[in-house]
Amino acid sequence: MTEPTTQRRSAGAHRATFLPAAQQTRLAPGSLVLAGAMLLLAAGEPALSTSEAPAVVVARVSEQPFPFTIEALGTARANESVEIRPLVSQRIVAIRFEEGQRVEAGRVLVELQSAEARADVASARATLAESESQLRRTRTLYETKAVSASELEQRLTRRDADRAALDAAEARLADTRVRAPFAGVLGLRHVSIGSYATPNTVITTLDDTDTIKLDFEVPETVLARVVTGLAISARSAAWPEATFEGRVAAIDTRVDPVSRTLTVRALLPNDDGRLRPGMFLTVLLVRDDIRALVVPEAAIVPERSRQFVYVVDAEERIERREVRTGRRQPGWVEIIRGLAAGEVIVVEGTQKALPGQPVRVIGGGPPAAEALAGKEPLP
């Protein structure tokens, strides 16, 4: 009994599979409607009407002046700076400068004991005079063939040697006077009259501060934009209300392999003497001739380490596009790659916009199609 019943059920199930199409429609009237909707979506038709599309505010991508600025910390240095030391070891007999005095190049600052050096000069002069006298007599005798040519050459050599000895003696005498190598301002005095000075003794310092060298570090990534002649401004805590203007004079030829930075040197006029060597300054380096593609900061949609924007095409549909960003200023971002000037992007409403879907422009200017056609400018 059980086996025939099972066979009849199987046969009934088998027959139900091949019902006529009209009967199948009556059994599942919503199936074809759902399938039709899925086919329409698969074909790319919008699921929302224009009135139901999300509202967005857009802006046009444009190339604008985008000044290049770098902030750095720098150290002031004198244009020329030296420690005044004697070249010879001798006792100080006179000091001819005041601390903080401005001196000209060649000014005598310190005199050392010179009695021995003066005696050496006098002796060398006497020896040279004797050599020149003997040379004159030998030349007279040589004209009469009384002496040989070799003896005349010996007298010439002797005269030249004595002349060189006099020059050396005079140089040693000159070294007993310590002079300023260039014009500048003297520092504090570290010696007194009667002190025994050696080449290791620092008498004072001399700085040329009419022009200040300002050295600061910049990252290697900005090397292409830092050029000589670029304007800079600097501020010091000692003069909070003052701004010191200057220009880049030199860029180091090497990048530090550890910090990946390089040294830039600027020159600042310092006629009033307010800047001193060793001062700490805040540097602002500005380049105004830079133009770049910029977009409002609100248009950038970050996703992990990547940046995206929503582009509105001529049909007012959304395209999600990855971009590479550069420098930033309050409210604006530089676009290095991914956008072209004139394209329209979503500024507000990115949370509602979906790639491939239409949007409704409610702010920022005319609809996207008109903006792309250039009928009216967008912000």
Give the CA distances from residue 104 to residues 93, 99, 126, 212, in Å, rounded to whole numbers and listed in that order. Answer: 22, 14, 35, 18
Q: How far apart, in whole angstroms, are the C-alpha atoms of residue 59 and residue 366?
A: 10
Closest listed residue to residue 232, CA positions, set 187, 273, 183, 287: 287
| CA proximity to 323, closest of 290, 291, 354, 295 | 295
pTM score? 0.63
The predicted-structure confidence for 219-240, as pLDDT tens digits, reads as follows 998 888 899 999 999 999 999 9
Cα dihedral value 14, 28, 36, 46, nearest 10:
-140
pLDDT tens, residue by residue, 257-306: 999 999 999 999 999 989 999 999 999 988 777 788 888 888 999 988 89
Terminal-to-terminal C-alpha distance of the chain: 86
Give the domains, in start order, of the chain with CATH numbers: 50-64+292-373 (2.40.420.20), 70-79+210-287 (2.40.30.170), 114-175 (1.10.287.470)
CA dist 370 → 4, 343, 353 (Å): 76, 12, 20
Please determine, for residue 18, whether its predicted confidence score (pLDDT) is greater than 70.
no
> Is residue 371 scored above 90 in pLDDT?
no
| Radius of gyration (C-alpha) of the chain in whole angstroms | 45
Task: Give dist(CA 150, CA 93) in Å, integer.
Answer: 49
Instruction: Give me the pLDDT at residue 56, please.
Output: 86
